[in-house]
Amino acid sequence: MNQKSATPKDAAAVILLNDAGDEVLWARRNPRLAFLGGYHAFPGGKLEASDALVRVENCANAELEKFIACAVRETFEEVGVLLVRGGEKLTRGQRASLHDDLISGRMTFAEILAHWNLRINAADFFYTGFWTTPQFSPVRFKTRFFLTVCPPKQTPYAAISELENVEFIKPNDALEKWKKSEVLISPPVLLTLQTLSTADSDKIIHIKNDSKSKDQHPKIVAENLLKNSQAADGQIRYIELNPRVICFPLKTETLPPATHTNCFIVGRKRFVVIDAASHEKSEQAVLHRIIDSFVEQGFVCQAIFVTHPHRDHTGGETVLQTHLFEKFDLRIPIAAHKSTAESLRGKVEFQKFIKDGEAFDLQDENAADFKLQTLHTPGHARGLLVFYDEEFGFLLSGDSVVGSGSVVIAPPEGNMQDYFASLERMKNLPNLRFLCGSHGAAVFDAKGKIESYIAHRLKREKQILEAWENGAKTSREIVERVYTDVSPALYELAEKSVEAHLGKLEQEGRISHEQPRILTKDY
Ligand SMILES: [Zn+2]
């Protein structure tokens, strides 16, 4: 069931510096948003057809014209700042009223600019390249970034409900928050902050009083940013969730809508690899490249973990183990819960079993120690392990809770009663902040996400119990009554879920087993 990744949509965003040039604007996306909810981001958004109708003066690259227009419109819509020439004659009240005209659709952006003789000049914008959302995301954008300086006397604010905490911040302060796992940042924003923070601070501070350096500073920074984007061809191969965890989405044969399984590298100077999942040689090669570079820097690989035995989580671990032995003469153990090893007998050889509560001592880039705790969370699979960094409040939730798609509980490997208990346990982890599952992006509100899983399953359980009490006795009959929102193509999976719910209700003595139910194949 391999499916194609989503096609990226065109978009544009603005790296907005304050007029002193030493701070950059960021904001937190509303946690309720489906795409990167709760992440800190720059103003920006999807290209609209009307952006091509907006005049951009002085643009040497016709291709970029509509993207500059899009970036300017999005910045005005989202944070109320008008990045135009001639805008200084407008009062704050007038800008607010124009904003209202735009948002309500009374006037198009082109009409507003023409009516007030406001001009977008391409010379005010430094193109810093594009970045494409990784393939594992069900929604993807190819975003062109532009660096510019905020016009005097305009103060950005949260002009729409999509954004919160709009603020100018010193790039180093923003990075500090990320280093302490206080925020989630997408890879392009992280890379930008890293580049801005290394820029020559003299030039940043003096741009206000020195017209020459005002032109110079953003240009130099923009050139560095552009080089980063070009070197990677705008592709993001892995995501640094925080300084301790790299998320490496690998192409696997998983269940739609997911197309990838997240492999995690936790720690640096002392690290472990979780779910080297892909069977594909090219995917294995890119993963090996980064692990090789760690080993070559003297970093120590402690183990290769397998979270559970499903086919989209295993397949690359033995290849990685052999690779590290042949290339570096290293003997790295493959480790999992005992019941995972039982399920994979004859397929994968394990050198170590991991128990609930076991903690691993790892080290970050600066050789600072931290602990990664193991939780045995059966439900989706008997031996499923998830891993928790309590200090950072970061849970790697495996297939228990995922960023995109849904979790299948299919007996006999799956057990609904266990699953509920595991969800409760994860929900109550001390200091829990973020999570990242095996599929999709990291989740900002980990506790809220787990609570929504519990609520969803309880609702299904109630519906299944009602169907049962009203005479539906086979899992297919129950699916047809309850899963009315699911395509018949997925009935087989839904039946497995029903089996699991009925099993739980039986275990709890809420229904009695009247006839043997047909078990379908294991997922
Ligand atoms: Zn699974």
- Report yes or no: 44 and 74 within 8 Å, Cβ to Cβ: yes
Tokens (6 digits) for 42: 């720059």
Handedness of CA 33, 36, 37, 43 (dihedral sign): negative
> If 0-12 CB within 10 Å is exposed, 13-18 middle and 19+ buried, where does residue 23 land?
buried
Q: Give distance in angstroms: CA of 252 to centre of ligand 1.
A: 12
Task: Tell me the C-alpha distance between 235 and 67, whole Å.
Answer: 19
> What residues sit around ligand 1, an ion, with C-beta below 5 angstroms?
310, 399
Compute, in angstroms, the gap from residue 414 CA to the centroid of ligand 1: 9
Instruction: Match 């290849």 to its residue by tokens.
Output: 319
The alpha carbon of 241 and the centre of ligand 1 are apart by a number of angstroms equal to 22
- 111 CA distance to ligand 1 middle (Å): 52
Report yes or no: 2 and 10 within 8 Å, Cβ to Cβ.
no
pLDDT tens string, the chain, 523 residues long: the values are: 445 678 999 999 999 999 888 899 999 999 999 889 999 999 999 999 999 999 999 998 989 999 999 999 999 999 999 999 999 999 999 999 999 999 999 999 999 999 999 999 999 999 999 999 988 888 899 999 999 999 999 999 999 999 999 999 999 999 999 999 999 999 999 999 999 998 755 454 444 444 445 555 677 888 889 999 999 999 999 999 999 999 999 988 887 777 889 999 999 999 999 999 999 999 999 999 999 999 999 999 999 999 999 999 999 999 999 999 999 999 999 999 999 999 999 999 999 999 999 999 999 999 999 999 999 999 999 999 999 999 999 999 999 999 888 898 999 899 999 999 999 999 999 999 999 999 999 999 999 999 999 999 999 999 999 999 999 989 999 999 999 888 888 898 899 999 999 999 999 999 886 554 544 444 3
Q: Is 213 in a helix, a strand, or coil?
A: helix
pTM of the full predicted structure? 0.92
HSE-CB at 399 with a 13 A cutoff on CA atoms is 30
Q: Write the burial class of residue 135 (CB in 10 Å: 0-12 exposed, 13-18 middle, 19+ buried).
A: middle
Rounded Cα distance between 498 and 464, Å, is 7
What pairing do the DSSP bridges indicate for beta strands 300-305 and 334-336?
A: parallel
Residue with tokens 């902040």: 433
The amino acid present at 11, given as its one-letter code, is A
Please report, as a single letter, which amino acid is at residue 352. K
Burial of residue 117, with CB atoms counted within 10 A of its CB: 0-12 exposed, 13-18 middle, 19 or more buried: exposed
Tokens 């190819």 belong to residue: 142
What separation in Å is there between the alpha carbon of 398 and the centre of ligand 1?
8
Question: Phi and psi for 463 in degrees, rounded to 5?
Answer: -65, -40
Task: Give 271's strand partners.
Answer: 301
